[in-house]
Structure 1
């Protein structure tokens, strides 16, 4: 069974205003959607003003990175990524790995970096105890879904309730966060049970009909290893469908940041991010 195919255009704009002049700026943008059998990138470009020196490469996790530097003094900078993507995701297969399979070196060694527990995803004790009760379920795949449902049922989506540097534990403590926090919590829970899990950044078109444009933001969901990467969005309680566009994957948010960098000179006085997603077909 397959969902109906969608063609989506995404325009992601980030702007910076400096309190004076920035002398030099060095940046990395992970804004190019992934090319996979389920997701074909028809068109993509990244435009930066002032005009930069640019270099493209793929990072360790397979994400396309646009590295750029602006060395002329500048009082503002704007980065606009425009993408057109065809998405046709088949429904994910049911659970196949057993609990015993997770301890096999073919899984535990192969995906070791998706089992580590840095502070960003490390689960608080109360959450970890509730997760450990789920290893009584018949398969890791069923436990993975239950972990995502636990996060969704306990944590309220509330923009502005956390900062990008906040850990999963902060979101659990206040029972509020954004998609990034819910994914970090789910990743910590999955890894607690020995299930390899990774972070996915991207977008989700929340409108319906062809021609509709929605204002959005970067979104995040989780994938766990079950003889293949199985996606789930704990924020919306659903398996990602054709309205989802994946851009980057990694161990957590720090590996998949849309834009990161350093600069010298004046301080940033303001920053804005605008995302517009249009369904073309």
Structure 2
């Protein structure tokens, strides 16, 4: 299918800032499951800087704004043709060794409860693909999807302890569980058009990719208990949400920052 995207992120400051710098990871990944028909990323009033493709295959582009800066608007629009690859990241070019994604971060630190969940879910199977599916189901059952109960710095262990969270928490928990049983896993940021039952989602989303040696990277969405399909648009990846963040930046000044995000996805044609 072909999906249209209109994504606006606005940062407002209650006092003018001297300058602002943005690092954007807002470009569709290149692999067999998606192709950019058209895609445009810009920062209103900003100066486009250099861009590069990192070792994980993700494009990163820099922007800067000279002060006084009272508002920063990051605009994304385009159309992506997607194909269902059953979650397999086929045809994606990267040079980072999958074993690098066994490293823990603060957000994905493995406590006893996460380790127990992973080992219980994995018991009785030696097949890594089966193990990955079991882990995704176990995380979905252990953490109910409840918006607003966690925050940006909630860890996988904290989300599991309270038994509630959002897609970021499901993803961190699944990553931690996979790493607990020796399977490399990473955080993926992107967009989701609709869930498996057809319910519109139309928002930024996050899911995990788990390395299954004889297949490669496979996307698992524990929040929706499925693999990434043609409803998903993949942007970038990292060890956790912080590393995979679509927008990272700094602004110098005394102002306090507020952020507003608007995302709209639509199906252009089947």
Structure 1 and Structure 2 fold alike (TM over 0.5): yes
Task: Check conservation: 1:32, 1:83, Cα contact below 8 A.
Answer: no
1:103-114 equivalences under 5 Å are 110-114=97-101
Whether the 8 Å CA contact 1:33–1:83 is kept in 2: the answer is no
- Kindly indicate whether the alpha-carbon contact (under 8 Å) linking 2:143 and 2:164 is maintained by their aligned counterparts in 1: yes
In the alignment, structure 1 segments of 5+ residues that lack a partner are 1-5, 94-108, 209-213
Q: Displacement, 1:184?
A: 0.7
Structure 2 equivalent of residue 98 of structure 1: none
For the 8 Å contact 2:108–2:173, the answer to whether it is kept is yes
- Do residues 180 (structure 1) and 168 (structure 2) align? yes
Report what 2:209 is aligned to.
223
Q: After the TM superposition, which residues 22-37 of structure 1 pair with which residues of structure 2 at under 5 Å, given as runs?
A: 22-37=17-32
The answer for unaligned runs of 5 or more in structure 2 is 89-95
C-alpha deviation, 1:65, in angstroms: 1.1
Aligned to 1:88: 83
Aligned mate of 2:141, from 153, 160, 176 = 153
**Greater Rg over alpha carbons, structure:** 1
Say yes or no: does 1:11 pair with 2:6: yes
1:230 match: secondary structure? strand
Higher strand share: 2
SS of equivalent to 1:218: strand
Q: TM-score, normalised by structure 2?
A: 0.89
- Give the deviation of 1:280 after TM superposition: 0.3
1:116 aligns with 2:103: yes
Retained in 2: the 8 A contact 1:216–1:274? no
Q: How many residues align?
A: 257
Whole-angstrom CA distance in 2 between matches of 1:26 and 1:90: 36
- RMSD over aligned Cα, in angstroms? 2.0
Provide, for residues 59-79 of structure 1, a one-character-per-residue CA deviation record: whole Å limited to 9, x for no partner: 232111121111231211111
- After TM superposition, the structure 1 stretch with the greater mean CA deviation from structure 2, 136-145 or 40-49, is 136-145
Cα separation, partners in 2 of 1:31 and 1:250, compared to 1, 3 Å: same
Secondary structure at the residue paired with 2:242?
Answer: helix
If the length of structure 1 is used for normalisation, what is the TM-score? 0.86
